[in-house]
Amino acid sequence: MATHLVWLRNDLRINDNSALAAACRDSNAEVMALFIATPAQWQQHHMAAKQAAFIHQSLLLLQDALAGRGIPLHYHQCQDFAASVDYLETFCDEHKVDALYYNYQYEINERERDAAAEKRLDARGVTCQGFDDSLLLPPGSVQTGNNSMFKVFTPFSKAFVRRLQQSLPECYSAPKARAGAPVRKKVPIPAFDYPLEAFDDTLFPPGEEAALKQLRHFAQQGVKDYPQQRDTPAVDGTSRLSPYLSTGVLSPRQCLHRVLKEHPHALTAGEGLVWLNELIWREFYRHLLVAFPALCKHQPFVDWTRHVAWQTNKAHLQAWQEGKTGYPIVDAAMRQLNTLGWMHNRLRMITASFLVKDLLIDWREGERYFMERLLDGDLAANNGGWQWAASTGTDAAPYFRIFNPTTQGERFDQTGAFIRQWLPELRQVPDNHIHQPHLWAQKNNRKLDYPAPIVEHKEARKKTLDAFERARSVA
């Protein structure tokens, strides 16, 4: 009897799991799964403690789901990727594994790990099969007429949609229970030797069943209102699916097929198209990561921006991190991040712009801090978003486009409902003054337990423009 091993990483689900489906096609093979935790590597990659806890809880639920199909989930912890390859080789020897199945990860360290694993296992006679599983379309499959990666999103998106209109990617069903699978005692999965921090499991319940329930709910009700509500942080108008996508508890193919089931014309116009475009942004950044590996090393895409003279101001950085900048929409957003490990997408743009364009602090400081806090931390999306805000990335906001944090607050949280939720010290401030509370306090001789603005936006804007223009002139 052949023995097939599924090496699980960011694919913690039984439905639409390409590697798992392939491993189970031979009904006579014994199938087992393996998850290897690498806390030292996670530390290097700044994984958030909340995300680690979310992964652990999702893993426990996955173990039960696999066991119900006669597939044992083995667990091991070692320090880093090099050690994980050593253990994988040992595991395959001990269990006489004939074939290894895994889903690709596209970050540079992960790709190097997988190449090393394949080389070692090939030499030992283990057949290795990898799959493009975390994307709708494989990297390199959507290119310009010159057979190169798109550097601008809009033409990429149009070409991407055309490909989907021609042929939709397949969704795989969960494997059936393995007939005659040996009964094995469940091996407990201990807590990772890594900081674990509780997350709000009412907003983000772990596991595949919860992810599919949220997807169905959003596709049926939320997609229709998404274009009107997605930029209003006080409204529950987003999908809240990002933690499931970033950890592989849910696949983008499941999202696409579910939305098309509820909104059949989503790839042409109307309901669903706006939200599906967000999935395509996710694809764009991942395709870029493969085409330009330097992005994995936190290098700017636009070369001349290397010359920007960023400021080192620990007090300003700390004020931004703690939500104490004196700009209510920025501070409310940062406190949401620190509490939930999640931030509304519009607010990610506002807070990133403020750090880079108002405080002139290196975007990599913000990128790292977000990864350390985000339940949905994902290198490609996080790096892409930060480089967009910093005007250092491909198809980024022009360097002279600088959000005014006050007017952004007035536009997207007009009455201050979101601000008051996260800044209780401003609850007494009237709606028409909530975005500049110190002017109200001064006018009414009131004292606020809230910091004054740490910079004046108009002056900060000029300083930033000067810094970028100097950098461009010396490049």
Residues forming the annotated binding site for FAD? 226, 238-242, 275, 278-285, 376-378
Q: Is a pLDDT exceeding 70 seen at residue 446?
A: yes
Residues forming the annotated binding site? 226, 238-242, 275, 278-285, 376-378
CA angle 217, 419, 454 (to 5 degrees): 135
Q: Is 454 exposed, middle or buried (0-12, 13-18, 19+ CB in 10 A)?
A: middle
Average pLDDT over the chain reads 96
345-353 helix and 328-340 helix, angle to the nearest 10 degrees: 120
What per-residue confidence (pLDDT) applies to 188?
87
Residues with active-site annotation? 278, 281, 310, 345, 363, 386
**Confidence category of residue 272, pLDDT binned at 50, 70, 90:** confident
- Tens of pLDDT, residues 385-407: 999 999 999 988 899 999 999 99
Q: Is a pLDDT exceeding 70 seen at residue 258?
A: yes
> Can you tell me the distance from the alpha carbon of 231 to that of 18, in angstroms, rounded to the nearest whole number?
34
Q: Is a pLDDT exceeding 90 seen at residue 269?
A: no
What per-residue confidence (pLDDT) applies to 273?
84
Q: Could you tell me if 323 and 373 are in contact, meaning their C-beta atoms sit under 8 angstroms apart?
A: no
Q: What percent of the chain has pLDDT over 90?
A: 95
What per-residue confidence (pLDDT) applies to 324?
98
Cβ atoms within 10 Å, residue 245 = 23
* Domain 3-133 class, CATH top level: alpha beta
Q: Is a pLDDT exceeding 90 seen at residue 451?
A: yes
- Average confidence (pLDDT) over 370-382: 98
Q: Is a pLDDT exceeding 80 seen at residue 410?
A: yes
| Three-state SS annotation for 41-75 | HHHHCCCCHHHHHHHHHHHHHHHHHHHCCCCCEEE
- Average confidence (pLDDT) over 438-464: 96
Q: Is a pLDDT exceeding 80 seen at residue 209?
A: yes
Fold match, 134-169+208-291 / 303-474: no
- Tens of pLDDT, residues 110-156: 999 999 999 999 999 999 999 999 999 999 999 999 999 999 999 99
Q: What is the pTM of this model?
A: 0.96
What per-residue confidence (pLDDT) applies to 270?
67
- Average confidence (pLDDT) over 362-378: 98
- Average confidence (pLDDT) over 93-118: 98
Please list the alpha-helical segments (H only) found in 219-309: 223-229, 242-247, 252-262, 273-291
> Can you tell me the distance from the alpha carbon of 103 to that of 242, in angstroms, rounded to the nearest whole number?
19
- Tens of pLDDT, residues 191-206: 999 999 999 999 999 9
What per-residue confidence (pLDDT) applies to 271?
63
Lowest mean pLDDT among 158-167, 176-185, 432-441: 176-185
* Sheet architecture: strand order including 73-77: 73-77, 30-37, 3-8, 99-103, 127-131
Give the domain ranges of the chain.
3-133, 134-169+208-291, 303-474
Is CATH 1.25.40.80 correct for 134-169+208-291? yes
**Confidence category of residue 181, pLDDT binned at 50, 70, 90:** confident
Which CATH number does 303-474 carry? 1.10.579.10
Q: Is a pLDDT exceeding 70 seen at residue 45?
A: yes
